[in-house]
Amino acid sequence: MELALRLGYSTRHISFVETGRAHPGRNLVTDWLHETGAPDSLRSAALLQAGYAHGDKVPSAEPQFWAQESVNQRSLAALLAVHDPFPALILDCEWRIIDANPGFVSLVGTLLPDFAAEHGVGGGTDYIDLLGSSSGLGARLADGGSAMAALLVQLRLEEWANPALKPRVDLFEQRVAHLILDSPPADPADQPLELVFDSERSSLRFYRFQTVFGLPQDITSSYCRAETWYPTDDITRKCMTKSGPELINE
pLDDT digits (tens, 9 = 90+) for 80-135: 999 999 999 999 889 999 999 999 998 998 888 888 877 778 888 899 999 988 88
Measure the CA–CA gap between 109 and 248, rounded to whole angstroms: 11
Higher pLDDT, 135 or 246: 135
∠ Cα 98 169 90 (to 5°): 15
The answer to whether residues 30 and 20 touch, using CB atoms and an 8 Å cutoff, is: no
Side chain identity, residue 79? L
Tens digits of residue pLDDT in 177-194: 887 776 665 665 666 688
- Cβ density class 214-247: b for 16+ within 10 Å, e for less: eeebbebbbbbbbbbbbbbeebbbebbeeeebee
Query: What is the tally of helices (H) and strands (E) in the chain?
Result: 11, 5
What pLDDT is recorded for position 167? 95
CATH of domain 71-247: 3.30.450.180
For 144, left (φ over 0), alpha (ψ -120 to 50), or beta? Answer: alpha
Highest mean pLDDT among 40-49, 102-111, 137-146: 102-111
- The percent of residues above 90 in pLDDT, for the chain, comes to 28
pTM summary value: 0.74
- The percent of residues above 70 in pLDDT, for the chain, comes to 81
The answer to whether residues 152 and 176 touch, using CB atoms and an 8 Å cutoff, is: yes
Segments making up each domain of the chain, as ranges: 2-49, 71-247
What pLDDT is recorded for position 130? 92
Measure the CA–CA gap between 164 and 170, rounded to whole angstroms: 11
Please name the helix (run of DSSP H) or strand (run of DSSP E) that holds residue 45, with its range, or none.
Answer: helix 40-49
